[in-house]
Chain A
Amino acid sequence: MKQWLKKPWPYWAGGILLGALNVVLLAASGSAWQVSGGYLLWGSGFLEKLGLKPFQWDYFQVYNTQYQKIIANHSVFLNQHTLLNLGVVAGSSIAALLSSQFKIGKIKGIKQAAFALLGGILMGYGSRLVGGCNIGGFFSGIPSFSLHAWVFWIFIAAGAWVGTKILLKFLT
């Protein structure tokens, strides 16, 4: 039993299940899997707490069908996006604990932390231009038959290639 719980699943099984879960989510809730929309609401929510008025930005007028209800209900921190994202964290924790591999990690150096922060900023900014991250914009965009997701695919690969070059240069 323990060995069985420790064994990782093959990639292909993971892929098929992720694709199927995205279909289940769309069928049951009407919206496909997305991650960065929730991040945007949290970030804007923090700014609002600091006294700014981010929800008056044009962005939220353009995408009002998506965000209007959440902002009007003042549920910027507790909404469908937050639950989906927290669910992923909880599910990952459950899986890591089941295989007895949960481990509190430490930061190994300032360079690593700086790369993590910078990478996050780049991803965040990019996701607003495309209208979604690699999940909402790509993973849910391809099966939605939208051309933007195919363009996303080509250029995220190009970016990954450049990123790999940068990483290799700094690590060696």
Chain B
Amino acid sequence: MHSEEIDSLIRERQKGKQPRRKSQIPYALALLLLSCTGAVFLWVFNRGGLIVFWIVGIALGIVLRYSRFCFAAAFRDPFLTKNTGLMRALLLALMVSTTGFAVIQHRFLQAHPNAGYDAIPGRINSVGLHTVLGAFIFGIGMVLAGGCASGTLMRIGEGHALPWFTLVGFLIGTTLGAKDYPFWYGRIIQGSPVVYFPEYIGFGAAVLIQIAILVCLYWLARRYQDKTLGKEG
């Protein structure tokens, strides 16, 4: 009760000081209408094939922005502020998607038992020194830029100017990386294996073990934050 009263007092005072922001809701509705028109357009001219990407993309953007989700911060904050809130949210996301992907992949492989790694729904890549190097420089870049690949898109949507530089940098870097690919392919990637867990231990065990690991990591992240920031943090 007491703190609520103080909060409302603070709010009262700020009302006088801050010029009240204009409501932007009409613009939001206009953009929503425009997006729906785009969806109808895609539906009519593309027979529904592309509309999924558009609609899910919009939903992803809304969720990213409303929950202030940021992958860069999820990886960075445990070091910088000792807060693991975003990391734990990321772990929850992975638990949900692990379960869903397992069902989709399992059904696909029952229908196509001899499918190659490229054809299995999802992302299955080779693992090796290139993964280590690539992830490491990606991690550095992500913190320097203050946002990852999806965060850049989200912050462009918010109206920021800075992520446009990150986007241009990303285009340059990723195109350069593709150009240099034969160099890395010949030296590292060519001999690197693809390790797809269900192939070795089956889907049931793969899902159970993976969920168990994610739950353990969640618990560790919670403990780490409690220990460094106290229970309140």
Which residues of A pack against B, CB within 8 Å?
Answer: 2, 5, 8-36, 39-40, 42-44, 46-47, 54, 57-60, 62, 65-66, 79-81, 83-107, 112-113, 115-137, 139-149, 151-164, 166-167
Contacts and interface: CB of A to CB of B under 8 A. Distances in A.
B65 A19 contact: no
Interface in B123-166: 123-127, 130-146, 148-150, 152-163, 165-166
A167 B162 CA distance: 16
Nearest to B100: A23
Contacts of B31: 90, 93-94, 97
B54 A83 contact: yes
Contacts of B165: 107, 113, 116-117, 120
B136 A126 contact: yes
Contact of A14 (B27, B63, B149): B63
A-B pairs with lowest CB-CB distance, top 5: A87-B57, A159-B139, A91-B61, A120-B169, A124-B173
A64 to B, nearest CB: 9
Contacts of A10: 67
Interface string B52-86: 11111111111111111101100110011000011
B185 interface: yes
Number of chain B interface residues as a range: 35 or more
Contacts of A140: 97, 122-123
Contacts of B89: 11-12, 14-16
13 contacts: A16-B93, A29-B56, A60-B178, A62-B181, A80-B50, A83-B54, A87-B55, A124-B169, A124-B174, A126-B177, A127-B149, A143-B98, A159-B135
Determine chain B's interface SS by DSSP, over half rule. Answer: helix
A33 to B, nearest CB: 7
Determine chain A's interface SS by DSSP, over half rule. Answer: helix
Given A88-B60, A128-B174, 15 more contacts: A16-B92, A18-B60, A19-B94, A59-B179, A80-B50, A87-B58, A88-B58, A90-B35, A93-B159, A98-B25, A105-B158, A121-B172, A160-B142, A163-B76, A166-B144
B176 interface: yes
A123 B170 contact: yes
A145 B202 CA distance: 11
